[in-house]
Chain A
Amino acid sequence: VHAPVGALVEHLFRHESGRVLATMVRLLGDVSSAEEVVQEALLAALQRWPLSGVPPNPGAWLLVTARNKALDRLRRARGFTARQDAITHELETAADEPPSEMGAFPDDRLRLIFTCCHPALSRESQIALTLKLLGGLSTAEVARAFLASEPTIAQRIVRAKRTIQTARVPYEVPEPDAIPGRLPAVLSVLYLIFNEGYTASAGDALVRHELCDEALRLAALLDHLLPDQPEVLGLRALLALQASRSATRVSADGTLVLLADQDRSQWDREQIEGALALIGRARGLGVPGPYLLQAEIAACHATAISWEATDWGRMVMLYDRLAGCAPSPVVDLNRAVAVAMRDGPAAGLAIVDELAAVPELRDYHLLPATRADFLRRLERWDAAAAEYARALGLAQNTREQDFLRRRLAECEHRRLR
């Protein structure tokens, strides 16, 4: 009856539901009603497609079906208001022209992204709402991905929706002069979604992988909807460059592999080329911000043939600029690593010793781990072992713990020789 359809339908519902939902929120003016209408449309597809075959443009089919369900809903509602009349008119006139690939409807997802990431919502709510409404994940899936309980996430989403209603969070794209102020929250949400999938070792592996894909997809969408924003391009490039290394950062037996030791021939060249092109586009668009600078740093790694052959002079310069526009002790720590590679471990150690007094880094395992690495390279085995032991006490991630334990054993072995 029909050709293999798995590839066609794969991810379709999840990805299209965000787009259809965004349009329905605009038409119906309410997130919950919009979610119901979208769900009805998806369930209609579930009932029909197996028998009728998948329509040639499934995304458009879902949009038209949801639109008709919204229209039914408005017709059934008694006491039409002027607003409903206007919406019904729009729906009816639009119903004659089926949407093309990008739609006769404007793409409403940009409004939805800015609404989900509105400053009136907590960062946690922004993340949960973005994944649920734009990513098409269920409450249970969001909970699984963040190792939180389902009621916790459900409550977060309910609270966020209530805030949108009571605080009258507008469903709109900010004015152009307000975008620089609102964009960092959106970028931060996408970055956190990616990192949650990329760095954590616990939880449902499949869901975690999907979080990375989802963040990459949403960043590409944001770039498409809001073109020529250097920080959007920077974030997209940064995520792609990190993703290009995902196959090599954990070895076959599950242990962590440092950037210095990764098999660079296994990095995804296509993804790297794409990221470099994005960085190229961003370079002419003004003073680089934190995401573009981080992408430049990642690109510097991606284009070096080895850890040792990396352009550490350029790295130090990039970290200096990053520390200038987004100062943080973690950036200072990374800068120390670059300085140590450029000028030797003693120079790095001097910087790290100063950082030891920074309160934010007191419980940060990478500070003693970095210090230990410099001491190891200076062959100060006793001191290095002590620092590895300290880092081991602070690390949460089991893969990192394994790595630190191996280094600790190595230093103790050398000390005794």
Chain B
Amino acid sequence: VPRFLLLLSPLRGGESRPSPAEIQQRTLAYLDWVAAGVRRGVIVAGARLGARASVVTRGDGVTTVSEPSPLLDVAVSGYFVVEAENFASAVAIAAGCPGAEPGSIEVRELQDALAD
């Protein structure tokens, strides 16, 4: 079954401050979505990106270790690997994911994966 990568990019700031009741509703929706996805075997893997990050750059025989671009850090908060019949169904799965609401989810097809 083809696998796809969902990259979560929640919006930060900007939105009006949600109340505890609203955050609770969103949490419940997200919990349900993940639990259902795992149960049905649609979600194969997933994680949130932690705080520690470095960028290792290699070139011309020199390897440097530096801070990541702050832009990238803001852009992606986590990912899911999902199984779907085709690209359109992967996009449909992303459309139902409450994990980046408000925000966006980038869907990428995965090719040439290592054998399990």
| A residues in contact (CB < 8 Å) with B | 1-2, 4-6, 9-14, 17, 35, 38-39, 42-43, 45-51, 54, 132, 136-141
Contact = CB atoms under 8 A, between A and B. Distances in A.
B40 interface: no
Most B C-beta atoms less than 10 A away, residue of A51, A136, A141: A51
Contacts of B23: 13, 39, 42-43, 45-46
Interface of A is mostly: helix
Contact of B27 (A4, A46, A140): A46
Interface of B is mostly: helix
Interface of B: 10, 17-24, 26-28, 30-35, 38, 46-48, 77-78, 99
B34 A13 contact: no
5 contacts: A9-B28, A39-B20, A42-B23, A46-B27, A49-B27
A9 B99 CA distance: 17
Contacts of B38: 1
A391 B30 CA distance: 51
A13 B24 contact: yes
A51 B34 contact: yes
A12 B34 contact: no
A6 B21 CA distance: 14
Given A1-B38, A9-B31, A42 B48 contact: no
B98 to A, nearest CB: 9
B26 A46 contact: yes
Nearest to B97: A50
A50 B17 CA distance: 21
Contacts of B21: 13-14, 136-138, 141
Contacts of A14: 20-21, 24
B35 A10 contact: no
B85 to A, nearest CB: 23
A11 B48 contact: no
B30 A50 contact: yes
Contacts of B24: 9-14, 42
B48 A13 contact: no
Contact of A50 (B10, B18, B31): B31
Given A6-B28, A9-B27, A10-B28, A50 B33 contact: yes
Nearest to B22: A138
A136 B30 contact: no
Contacts of A5: 31, 35
A6 B28 CA distance: 7
Most A C-beta atoms less than 10 A away, residue of B17, B20, B23, B47: B20
Nearest to B10: A47
Nearest to A11: B24
B99 A50 contact: yes
A50 B34 CA distance: 6
B12 to A, nearest CB: 9
A331 to B, nearest CB: 36
Given A45-B27, A49-B27, A138 B77 contact: no
